Amino acid sequence: MQRESDLNAKGYSERDEKRILDALGRGLLKEFPNPDRAGCPGSDVLSRIASHAMPLAEAEKWLDHLTSCSPCYGDFSQFQAAHQRRRTQRLLAIAASILIVVGVAGWALFFKQKGPSAVQTAVLDLRNRSVPRGGELNPGEQPLEVSREVKRLNVYLPLGSAEGAYELRVAITTGSAIFTTNGVASVKDGVTSIETAVDLSSASSGRYVLQIRKPNSEWNSYPLLLR
């Protein structure tokens, strides 16, 4: 935009612009052949007039020539079209960057509004977890993390797990359950998973154990961090 104000400082108003165009319009492309380009100012001058890089006072002395030399008029027209294209591109780039800012803001707002429901389903991926037996936990295993706000769990069972009925519970580390439910595992897209409703909102945050078993078999336990 700095450039725009520079141009204004050089004294081109819209009326001046129109005057030049009108003057040149009279200089039609064919009426003034000048094959030897006698007295032509050169393409640098034409380009600077077309792009308003030359002060009007300086450009003035070329106007008579431009209105009586078809080759110069042709060159000037091309420079001017190129200048207009660049100007349009600059304006489009500005408009595009405004749209991007508006878009990002809208997107952020959308997710802010969708935020609470977006976190209501948590995916717990046990596919690559080793399968512990009984209530024992593998020392050093990274705990699964879940928000207490979560309303549904989607548990991806360890690879090779069978479909069918499962029991699922969240227990404190000394063993008693704070939440218990039943679910049916099924294969979707090659993953055996259980989707089930949960309510952990009354639990305090901290370390727990997620336990899963087929009915009447041993619990498999995974460390769980409630946030």
Residues that bind Zn ion (CB under 5 A): 40, 69, 72
For the bound state, the minimum distance from the C-beta of residue 72 to Zn ion, rounded and expressed in Å, comes to: 3
Q: Please return the burial class of 208, using the count of CB atoms within 10 Å of its CB with bins 0-12, 13-18 and 19+.
A: buried
For the bound state, the minimum distance from the C-beta of residue 22 to Zn ion, rounded and expressed in Å, comes to: 18
Q: How far apart are CA 164 and CA 193, in angstroms?
A: 10
Q: Kindly tell me which of 6 and 31 has the beta carbon lying closer to Zn ion.
A: 31
Q: Are 224 and 209 in contact (CB under 8 A)?
A: yes
Q: How far is CA 212 from CA 19, 33, 198, 218, in A?
A: 85, 92, 14, 8
Q: Kindly tell me which of 68 and 196 has the beta carbon lying closer to Zn ion.
A: 68
What is the maximal distance between C-alpha atoms in the chain? Answer: 104
For the bound state, the minimum distance from the C-beta of residue 23 to Zn ion, rounded and expressed in Å, comes to: 14
Task: Read off the tokens for 82.
Answer: 């190129």
For the bound state, the minimum distance from the C-beta of residue 35 to Zn ion, rounded and expressed in Å, comes to: 11
Say which amino acid occupies 143: P
Q: Kindly tell me which of 72 and 146 has the beta carbon lying closer to Zn ion.
A: 72
Q: Kindly tell me which of 67 and 192 has the beta carbon lying closer to Zn ion.
A: 67
Q: Kindly tell me which of 11 and 42 has the beta carbon lying closer to Zn ion.
A: 42
For the bound state, the minimum distance from the C-beta of residue 69 to Zn ion, rounded and expressed in Å, comes to: 3
Task: Read off the tokens for 218.
Answer: 């041993």
